[in-house]
Amino acid sequence: MSLKRLRNITRTLGFRVGAWYSAIFIGSSALLFILAYLFLGATLRAQDYEEIQLELREVQTLYDIGGVTALNRYVDQLGGERRSRPLFIRVADRANRTRHIFSRESWEDFNLDLLSGGCGDCQGWQTLSCRKGTYVLDVLSGPLTPRGNRVQVGMSSQRRQEILSQFRRIFLVVMVPLFALGLGGGLFLSRRTLRPIRGIIKTVRSIDAGTMEARVKRTHTGDELDELAGLFNTMLDSIHGLIIRMENSLDDVAHDLRTPMTRLRNVSEMALREGDDPDLLRQALEKGIEESDRILSLLTTLMDVSEAETGMLRITPYETDLTELIETIVEMYRFVAEEKEVRIDATIEQGLVASVDPHRLSQALANILDNAVKFTPEGKTVHITASREHTSVCIGIRDAGPGIPPEDIPRIWDRLFRGDRSRSEKGLGLGLSLVRGIVAAHHGEIHVESREGEGALFTVVLPG
Exposed (0-12), middle (13-18) or buried (19+): which is 105, by Cβ within 10 Å? exposed
pLDDT number for residue 13: 64
CATH number at residue 243: 1.10.287
Parallel, antiparallel or unpaired: strands 343-348 and 381-389: parallel
Alpha-carbon span 265 to 257, nearest angstrom: 12
CA dihedral 209, 213, 214, 220 (to 10 degrees): 170
300-351 pLDDT, tens digit each: 777 766 666 666 677 888 999 999 999 999 999 988 888 889 999 999 999 8
Pair 423, 336 in one domain: yes
Whole-number Å distance between alpha carbons of 334 and 176? 90
pLDDT tens string 175-194? 888 778 877 777 777 777 77
Residues ≥6 apart with Cβ < 8 Å to 144? 94, 121, 150
Position 393 scores a pLDDT of 93
Q: Find out whether 453 and 396 touch, Cβ atoms under 8 Å.
A: no
Residue 395 to residue 412: CA distance in whole angstroms: 19
pLDDT for the residue numbered 214: 74
Say if residue 445 is in the same domain as residue 327. yes
Dihedral of CA 459/460/463/464: which sign? negative
Whether 373 contacts 336, CB under 8 Å: yes
Same domain, 21 and 135: yes
Using the 3D structure, point to which of 159, 179, 199 is the last residue of a domain: 179
Same domain assignment for residues 246 and 167: no
Same structural domain, 136 and 274:
no
Using the 8-state DSSP alphabet, how is residue 155 labeled? E
Domain with 448, as residue range(s), is 318-463
Cβ pair 94, 145 in contact under 8 A: no
Residues in Cβ contact with 345 at an 8 Å cutoff, skipping those fewer than 6 apart: 381, 382, 383, 384
State the pLDDT at residue 181: 80
What global pTM score does this model have? 0.46
Mark which of 270, 292, 309 sits at the end of a domain: 309
Are 151 and 52 in contact by the 8 Å Cβ rule? The answer is no
Starting at the earlier edge strand, list the strands of the sheet with 392-398: 343-348, 381-389, 392-398, 456-463, 445-450
45 and 121 in a single domain? The answer is: yes
Number of structural domains, the chain?
A: 3
Please report whether residue 61 resides in a domain: yes
**Judgement on whether residues 151 and 230 belong to the same structural domain of the protein:** no
Instruction: Please report whether residue 209 resides in a domain.
Output: no
**In sequence order, what are the residues at sequence separation of 6 or more whose Cβ sits closer than 8 angstroms to the Cβ of residue 75?**
87, 89, 102, 103
Rg value, the chain, Cα: 49
Q: Is residue 238 located within the same domain as residue 361? A: no
Q: How far is CA 27 from CA 23, 30, 145, 177, 185, in A?
A: 6, 5, 53, 14, 14
- Ranges of residues in the chain with a pLDDT under 70 are 1-15, 79-84, 117-122, 208-210, 225, 245-256, 274-276, 304-312, 415-430
- CATH number, domain of 34, equals 3.30.450.20
Q: Is residue 39 domain-resident?
A: yes
Q: What is the pLDDT of residue 422?
A: 47
Is there a contact between 114 and 101 (Cβ–Cβ < 8 Å)? no
- pLDDT value for 428: 45
DSSP 8-class letter at 117: S
The pLDDT score that the predictor gives to residue 424 is 43
pLDDT in tens, 399-416: 988 888 888 887 787 765
Which pLDDT value is given to residue 251?
66
38 plus 169 within the same structural domain: yes
Residue 19: Cβ-neighbour burial (10 angstroms; 0-12, 13-18, 19+): middle
Please check whether residue 49 lies inside any domain of the structure.
yes
Query: What's the rounded Cα separation, in Å, for the pair 150 and 98?
Result: 10
Task: Looking at the structure, tell me whether residues 44 and 146 fall in a common domain.
Answer: yes
Strand (E) positions, 282-438? Answer: 318-321, 343-348, 353-356, 381-389, 392-398
Q: 325 with 374, same domain?
A: yes
Residues 323, 417 share a domain: yes
Q: DSSP assignment, residue 130?
A: B
| Exposed/middle/buried for residue 100 (C-beta within 10 Å: 0-12, 13-18, 19+) | middle
Residue 173: C-alpha distances to residues 23, 49, 166, 167, 179 (Å): 18, 31, 11, 10, 11
Nearest alpha carbon to residue 440 among 418, 461, 422: 461
The CA dihedral of 364, 368, 373, 376, to the nearest 10 degrees, is 180
- Cβ atoms of 281 and 271 within 8 Å: the answer is yes
Listed residues 268, 287, 309: the one ending a domain: 309
The CA dihedral of 390, 392, 393, 395, to the nearest 10 degrees, is -100
Give domain status of residue 198, yes or no. no
